[in-house]
Each structure stands twice: as C-alpha cells, then as structure tokens.
C-alpha cells in the first residue's frame, strides 16, 4: 500500500492543527487564570482591609449580616478559595503529588540526617508534605 504525498500532507496538517489547538487551549486556560487573579487583586486594591491581617483575624462565621465589610469578605474568600481550587486541580492533573509523597513518606519521616527534610525546605512546603502524610485533604 503506497502512501501518497496527499495523504502525508493530510496527516501532517491534521497533526499540526491538533498541536496548535492544544497549545492555544493551554494559553487560553493560563490567560483565564491570570484574568481571574487580576480580578481578585483589583478587589483587594479597592478594599485593602480584605488583605489586612488585623481585619481577617476578626472573622467569625457568626458575623453581623448587616456588616457590609464582613459580607464582602465572605464573598472575597469564596473567590480566593475557588481560584486556589482551580489552580490545585491543574497541578493535580499534571502531577499526582499526594500519592508520590505518600509513596516516599518513610524517607521524609526518617531522613538520613536529622531534620534534613524540615531544614532544607520552606515552612509552607513542609506543612504541605506533612499534611499529605497525615492523610489531610491538602492539595
């Protein structure tokens, strides 16, 4: 069976088209995430107290429903956690971090040199790894 130059051209064209489509989809997805982050940051600039620890430490789920600041904060936090959830899903699709960490958990728990694991990485990463190992729902 001979493959004609027209068939080869069709295969190359289809492959190129599929590749371009995938690349554009990834770029659009990243742009969408960037746009969402920009929108959240614009809200924070408009209402700086939303990122102020003195304010956020006052949070209670039993807040006064007539308090506009806490109403806004509740919605703002929903935006933040929705955004972080989307980013975490992308990371989890790319890399099965939790199962990988758990597979090598004994190495983390029992390092060759004492405290090598916790001293070699930043605190947030250490907490993430330890959360995975404790069975938490950390992403």
104 within domain boundaries? yes
For residue 66, being part of any structural domain is answered with yes
Residue 100's pLDDT is what? 80
CA distance 49 to 28: 32
Residue 7 lies in a domain: no
- Asked whether residue 40 is domain-assigned, the answer is yes
- The reply to whether 74 falls in a domain is yes
In a domain, 20, yes or no: no
**Phi and psi of 60, rounded to 5°?**
-145, 145
Number of folded domains in the chain? 1
Quote the percentage of the chain above a pLDDT of 90.
27
**Cα 43 from Cα 46, distance rounded (Å):** 5
Q: Note down the domain range covering 36.
A: 30-134
Could you tell me if residue 1 is inside a domain?
A: no
pLDDT tens-digit series, residues 90-120: 877 777 788 888 988 988 998 878 888 889 8
């Amino acid at each position: 069976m001979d493959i004609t130059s027209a068939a080869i051209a069709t295969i190359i064209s289809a492959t190129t088209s599929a590749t371009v489509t995938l690349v554009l989809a990834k770029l659009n997805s990243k742009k969408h995430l960037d746009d969402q982050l920009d929108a959240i940051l614009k809200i924070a600039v408009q209402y700086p107290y939303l990122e102020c620890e003195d304010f956020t430490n006052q949070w209670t789920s039993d807040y006064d429903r007539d308090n506009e600041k806490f109403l806004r904060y509740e919605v703002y936090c929903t935006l933040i956690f929705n955004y972080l959830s989307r980013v975490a899903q992308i990371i989890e699709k790319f890399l099965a971090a939790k199962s990988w960490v758990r597979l090598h958990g004994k190495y983390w728990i029992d390092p060759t040199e004492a405290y090598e694991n916790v001293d070699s990485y930043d605190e947030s990463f250490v907490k993430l790894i330890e959360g995975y190992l404790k069975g938490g729902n950390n992403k």
